[in-house]
Amino acid sequence: MTTAIVWFRRDLRLADNPALVAAVEGHDRVIPLYVHAPDEEGEWAPGAASRWWLHHSLAALDKGLRRHRGALQIVIARKRANTGGGGTLGALREAIKATGATAVYFNLLYDPAIRKRDAQVRKALEADGIDVASFNANLWCDPWEIATKEDEPYRVFTPFWRNLRTRIDAQGPLEEPSPLRLEALATSAALDDLALLPTLDWAKGFDEWTPGEEGAHDMLSLFADDAVGHYTSGRDLPARHGTSRLSPHLHFGEISPRQVAERLRAHFARRKNVPDLEPYLRQLGWREFGHHLLWHFPDTPKKNFNTKFDAFRWEKRDAHALRRWKQGKTGIPIVDAGMRELWATGWMHNRVRMLVASLLTKNLRQHWLLGEKWFWDTLVDADLANNAMGWQWVAGSGADAAPYFRIFNPVTQSEKFDPDGAYIRRWVPELRDAPGRLVHAPWEDEKYLKASGYPPPIVDLKASREDALLAYQHSKSV
């Protein structure tokens, strides 16, 4: 009888899990193992909101395994990651020794620090005589599989998507393997031992989320039953649930893009009125593009993708402005609504993400790294590839980026996408009774603004736009 370890990471599901399927097919017994080693992710260890999600996602995975008369085995890696006796490598070696496992199966991650760690683990285990197999579980295609005709990485989304789009229809998800013949370690840490939950009463608004594989499929069902039918017109309206809200489930691997596409196709297979699924699939393509960029350009979470932007004149870090931005007290209603939604729920509508990022990087001219770090700590869907791509896109320094001179006007944007102010009124109660246009620009009536208790704007939108354009012109001439 042979035993294999399935090393779970951000693939926290049982269905469409190629590492799990291969292990079950190739061995008599399987040990489902999670190794907790956040230090090995360097400065991009999971932020507070991600840790909250991870706690509940691990609990959900354990519940799923218990249906198969097993349980998730948890090991907290000892520090000393570069030696055989510590870190993830040491934890795996101890589990192998204790169980007699002859193989380790895992699904790939693409973050630079994790890639480096995984390569070291693989090399060491193979030197020990252990079979090691890795798989793609969370993308349609591995980042190195998509290339230009010149065999170069893509830098622009549209041709990347045209290439990727030809590959996805034939990909179907794998079934959950059954039976699962699970084995346990002699000792396993308790989930609470990982201390993932916040110590402050901060995540109480997160109860609108249901982390885990079941929660992911419930969210997808809601999307298929309603929002996908008017996705093109509804996805930019923050007051309604016009998007799938699957981003945290995708990040933690509770559901895969293969499963999403297959479920949507099956949902409408026998219906006469079938919505156009392409706009939504294209958004999943942007997620893949982010991972493509991170794989080929691993410095993008910290450095400008477009090096010409290195000469740009950012303002000195403004702690006061940054604090008001984080707290949703900028005096710009749509921005404050978004920042408060983020703090309360760990999530923010994508249209509003662009607006809050534009205000920070262009009107306030604070470096995009400051916003990237805040999102990393507060988003339940904080994903290194997509967070870096998104911030650099808005800042103007990234691949296929919005040009720097495209500066979002938050007033016209909120009038267009939140015309009756429903989103603002929900998250900015000071403006709940604002009449007409004042919900978008309360400073236009000084008397009302003073009575509302809402702060005046942190910056003059017109003047700061002109200053940003001047700074951009200066950087171009350097």
Percent of the chain with pLDDT over 90: 89
Q: Give 3-state DSSP helix, strand, coil % of the chain, rounded to 5.
A: 55, 5, 40
Residue 107 has pLDDT above 50, yes or no: yes
Percent of the chain with pLDDT over 70: 98
Tens digits of per-residue pLDDT, 200-218?
777 778 989 999 999 999 9
Residue 402 CA to residue 389 CA, distance in Å, equals 11
Tens digits of per-residue pLDDT, 374-430?
999 999 999 999 999 999 999 999 998 777 778 999 999 999 999 999 999 999 999
- Residues ≥6 apart with Cβ < 8 Å to 147: 153, 154
Q: Is the peptide bond before 457 cis (omega within 30 degrees of 0)?
A: no
Residue 264 CA to residue 279 CA, distance in Å, equals 13
- Residues ≥6 apart with Cβ < 8 Å to 276: 232
Residue 437 CA to residue 399 CA, distance in Å, equals 36
Q: Which domains does the chain have, with CATH numbers?
A: 3-137 (3.40.50.620), 138-172+213-296 (1.25.40.80), 307-477 (1.10.579.10)
Q: Give this prediction's pTM.
A: 0.96
Residue 40 CA to residue 26 CA, distance in Å, equals 30
* Concatenated DSSP letters of 374-394: HHHHH-TT--HHHHHHHHHHH
Tens digits of per-residue pLDDT, 147-201?
999 999 999 999 999 999 999 998 899 999 999 999 999 999 999 999 999 877 7
And the tokens for 396? 């103007």
- Is there a contact between 303 and 311 (Cβ–Cβ < 8 Å)? no
Average pLDDT, the chain: 95
Tens digits of per-residue pLDDT, 332-390?
999 999 999 999 999 999 999 999 999 999 999 999 999 999 999 999 999 999 999 99
* Concatenated DSSP letters of 114-172: HHHHHHHHHHHHHHTT-EEEEE--SSSS-GGG---TTS----SHHHHHHHHHHHHTT--
Sign of CA pseudo-dihedral 214, 165, 140, 296: negative
CB atoms within 10 A of CB 69: 10
Q: What is the pLDDT of residue 81?
A: 46
